[in-house]
Chains A and B, each alone.
Chain A
Amino acid sequence: MTRVKQLKRPLQLTNDGQLRHFLTIDGLSKTLLNNILNTAESFIIVGSKAVKNVPLLRGKTVVNLFFENSTRTRSTFELAAKRLSADVLNIDILTSSASKGESLLDTLRNLRAMQSDMFVIRHADSGAAHFIAAEVTPDVAIINAGDGHHSHPTQAMLDMLTIRRHKSNFDQLSVAIVGDIRHSRVARSQVQALKTLGCSDVRLIAPDTLMPPHASTLGVTTYRDLDQGLEGVDVVMVLRLQTERMTSAFLPSANEYYNFYGLTRKRLQRAKADVIIMHPGPINRGVEIESEVADGKHSMILNQVGYGIAIRMAVMSMVITGQACQSRETNYGCVD
């Protein structure tokens, strides 16, 4: 058994390569990512009309299952589903049966019995969305709204949409990701999306304590020094720093972090003059980013929120179509 495990068809794709779940960017083709971006572009137009709804998910039930707190991701998913005319059920899992000892497996099976068509899931465990798609509800479309430190694919795609709308080709760009990369599902998905779309200069900037071990295997260049890493970049993506990192021996203090890794106007001078600044939110002003930078002319932080609705509409409409196609075909075992 020394051979490498053979993988079958990726779990999130149909036999003919369409999305049926959206679990991770890993393994998706450039064409598919561009399809998502193009579809999202068409939904941006919907958002600007007086009547914002389209009937693509009419009669479908979307369940938002957030096992972790979230305001903006959850509300943009809800809005996206409603604009697609779906019925939306929000389950507040923190006060539901999960806290009574019911397993994730049983919670999901119960919701499936309610004839749900799509689960949007955020969970603290890496691989939770994979587990649900593979083991619990293979016939319900699963959208990963963030699992542990693994993946947050809709966030990465809205970031790609932001870059595409404000910059030229991905293969011409230098992109820096700054902050707590070790614990960031956003950073992992961003790196995979950038690499797939052709970006050859992806830089990760963090002290070693916040850098994933073996980060260079992701196909990126790593920097310990922020100033060096920012030199000549077109895009800076800043990650949120959670305060618990200061109490668990990852960092000495918020102040020291700001002084050496906080994005300030002065530091930003090293980047290109037309650099854009992004952040998945919510931001900690004065910890990872200076207020003037967050609110300044380079900032795309509020644009990102609007694009988030369009990306989520795109992904939801694509997986519903893929799921319908796949359920007509033979379902055989698949892994990824």
Chain B
Amino acid sequence: MDVLIKKARVIDPTQHLDSQLDLYINSGILVAMASNLEVDHVRQVDGSGCIICPGLVDLSCNLREPGYSQKGTIDSETAAAAQSGYTHICASPSTSPCTDTPAIVQLILDRAHQARHCRVYPVGALTRNLEGQQLSNMAALRDAGCIAVSNGSGDCDENMTLLRCYEYAASQGLPVFIQAQDKHLGKGCIHEGAIATRMGLDGIPIIAETLSISRHLQLLHHVGLRGHFNQVSSGSGVELIRQAKRAGQDITADASIAHLSFNETWVRGYDSQYHLHPPLRSEDDQQALLVGLADGTLDGICSAHQPHEEAAKKAPFSSTEPGMASYDMLIPLALQLIRNQTIDWVTLVDRLSIAPARIAGINRSGLQVGVKADLCLIDPNYRWTLDASTAVSTGTNQPLWEQHLQGRSLLSICP
């Protein structure tokens, strides 16, 4: 990679940097960053009106491999991630077989390395086969390359088992990623509210999330383990996180781009593209998530990318598979948060890149001269249509399909 990017707005909150600069990248190294750089015989990119920031970091995505290659592969989905500006992504353990052995971790890392789109950090299974009963070989998973452990979208029924899991994870120095939802209360397919009642669909009450968050908070506190909550969906959930942080507990949290961008009203007409787990909640909940994102209660935005094949969404609503392939839509949706004045550019870069990197424990130097470049270039005014010619993910579950979108990552450089 040999390129000179001219006149871009360079944002790196770790250096309190927000200025218009030129960047020269040679052989993957950020050689120079200054005003009015001139370099001969090199490809120039006009960065006017564009943003350069440290590469984006995803705290939750499903790469589908091994086991679900009809939905996506590590090659196809890391390519989609890179196209959206991600340079580092944390992969959920919910594969088949799940990420509960070093062999699976190695397979994922090998495939990601071969694909060369972005760096992948596997999140190991907290329990064997994600069944919530027997501890996984966490030390071996850590040595194989897992940066955290998680039980995915499943839950442990037994408090004693969960306590032991957390004690063991703490002793191996592994933080835990939690998607908090009570297994039994979470059996529906839509937010429990007026729309669910009208549509005759089984609702998932907010207490399915808050009960689970409270339980995990207490167990984490008891053990002294660092925890990260993925995909918080409700205002009450955000409030529990806020209180725990105020009390000094070592926790972090994110919300998915879908939960920040949509709400339960989008499900009307039984639109299975908006069938998510946890479900899209009320407009009030969406607003509370946006407030939480702005005030830092929610540290990050995750993609919660879950690609599906077409058949997975072609059935009556409750029989469809939950999830959204969000990588290709991520930048336009994230920019909407700036346009509706939820957050500014510096905060957006923090929530999509800086804070997630810190939470995942990824050591990187930011936009430093002399080290390998790790950045993305975003054009917030780029107008395009999401269709077969522009989509990179193989997931067909993209609700903004064939819509005109604004904003795109033009370039990402992965170290």
Query: Hey, which bits of chain A sit against chain B, CB under 8 A?
Result: 1-2, 4-5, 7, 11, 26, 103-105, 123, 125-128, 130-131, 134-135, 147-151, 185, 188, 212-215, 217-218, 335-336
Contact = CB atoms under 8 A, between A and B. Distances in A.
B317 A127 contact: yes
Nearest to A11: B269
Given A1-B262, A218-B198, A126 B317 contact: yes
Contact of B269 (A1, A2, A7, A217): A7
Given A1-B261, A149-B200, A212-B197, A335 B271 contact: yes
Contacts of B311: 103, 105
A335 B399 CA distance: 14
Interface of B: 192-194, 196-203, 205, 261-263, 265-266, 268-271, 283, 286-287, 311, 314-319, 333, 336, 340
Main secondary structure on A side of the interface with B: loop
B318 A148 contact: yes
Contact of B194 (A188, A217, A335): A217
A148 B198 contact: no
A214 B333 contact: no
A185 B265 contact: no
Contacts of B203: 213
A201 B262 CA distance: 35
A5 B262 CA distance: 9
Contacts of A4: 265, 283
A168 B381 CA distance: 63
A101 B153 CA distance: 26
B315 A103 contact: yes
B205 A213 contact: yes
A125 B197 contact: no
Contacts of A150: 199-201
A125 to B, nearest CB: 4
B197 A218 contact: yes
Contacts of A151: 200
B200 A135 contact: no
Nearest to A105: B314
A214 B269 CA distance: 19
B270 A130 contact: yes
Contacts of B315: 103-105, 125, 131
A215 B198 CA distance: 9
Contacts of A335: 268-269, 271
A131 B317 contact: yes
A208 to B, nearest CB: 13
Contact of A125 (B193, B262, B286, B317): B317
B201 A148 contact: yes
A134 B201 CA distance: 18
Contacts of A127: 199-201, 270, 316-318
Given A1-B262, A1-B336, A5-B265, A125 B316 contact: yes
Given A2-B283, A103-B311, A105-B311, A126 B201 contact: yes
Nearest to B313: A135
